[in-house]
Amino acid sequence: MKIGSKEFDFSRVYIMGILNLTEDSFYPPSRVKIEDVERKALGMINEGVDIIDVGAESTRPGSDPVDPQEEARRIDLAVRAIRRISDIPISVDTYRSETAIVGLKAGANMVNDISGLKFDDRMAEVCANFDVPVVMMHIKGTPKNMQENPFYEDVLKEVYEEFERMIEKAIKAGIKESQIVIDPGIGFGKRLEDNLKLIGHIDTFKKLGKPILIGISRKSMISKIMPMDVSERLEPTIALNTIAAMKGANIIRVHDVFSHVKAMKMVDAIMGV
């Protein structure tokens, strides 16, 4: 898969760094003001990040949508700021096609859609027209209501079947199969037991033949196992991401880039033996 000017052969685990342009994302240190974007991005690049994921709307449980024009404005400024200093692959974290267009025109190379192309009917068409990779995530409900008593009879089967539908929809819209990445959506309409099963059996989704992205970083599922503040969740995050990577995850979306660059080097070494 080509993302921007970089080739990704998925022979190793890739690191996607989170750059939040929001004022209410659940992990305060991840919040970045526009004037600090270049510094933050350069820091991640120096730490070894492979992709920078730029988002301007919090999608934590219970969050409210932001004004679409404000989201697009922030994305435009941030992407342009990063492009001034680097050709690093940039992903736009949005479910709105208009925001995706703004970000891609500003120099982004990828779309990360938490809705799996469901929230905006034009998103699939936009990704196809720009011929960029798209991450399609599984979600039950919306960020506002997704954690209101979610339930699955068989989470692996149901998420797998939803991925099949997503992939079919994407291809029909003109997105190339080689441009599709899937994300099981840890914490997005899932109970603790669902999250654990998805992480522990992520290899189930390898049959779909698509790269797998996973986002576990510092999420509240960790504190349901061992109560702790979000500031204390680095080590559990690394443990979960290590398991996910060894089970077949290809891209790890994280707040803490350098810690995961080092951890995934060890995973790559083991997996390459």
**What pLDDT score was predicted for residue 180?**
98
Q: Is the pLDDT of residue 60 over 80?
A: no
Catalytic site residue from 40, 96, 140, 253: 253
pLDDT surpasses 70 at 148: yes
d(CA 147, CA 211): 26
pLDDT of residue 145 exceeding 80: no
Our answer to whether residue 253 is catalytic in this structure is yes
In a 3-state reduction of DSSP, which class is residue 118?
A: coil
Question: How far is it, in rounded angstroms, from Cα 136 to Cα 167?
Answer: 8
Q: Is the confidence at residue 61, as pLDDT, over 90?
A: no
Q: Is the pLDDT of residue 273 over 80?
A: no
Is 144 part of the annotated catalytic residue set? Answer: no
Mean pLDDT of all residues in the chain?
94
Sign of CA dihedral 80, 81, 87, 91: negative
The mean pLDDT value for 101-120 works out to: 97
**pLDDT in the model for residue 23:** 76
Marked catalytic residue, from 96, 219, 233, 247: 219
* pLDDT (tens digit per residue) in 158-190: 999 999 999 999 999 999 999 999 999 999 999
pTM of the model: 0.94
For residue 5, the SS3 value is coil
pLDDT at 96: 97
In the chain, what are the domains?
11-271 (3.20.20.20)
Inform me whether the pLDDT recorded for 150 exceeds 90.
Answer: no
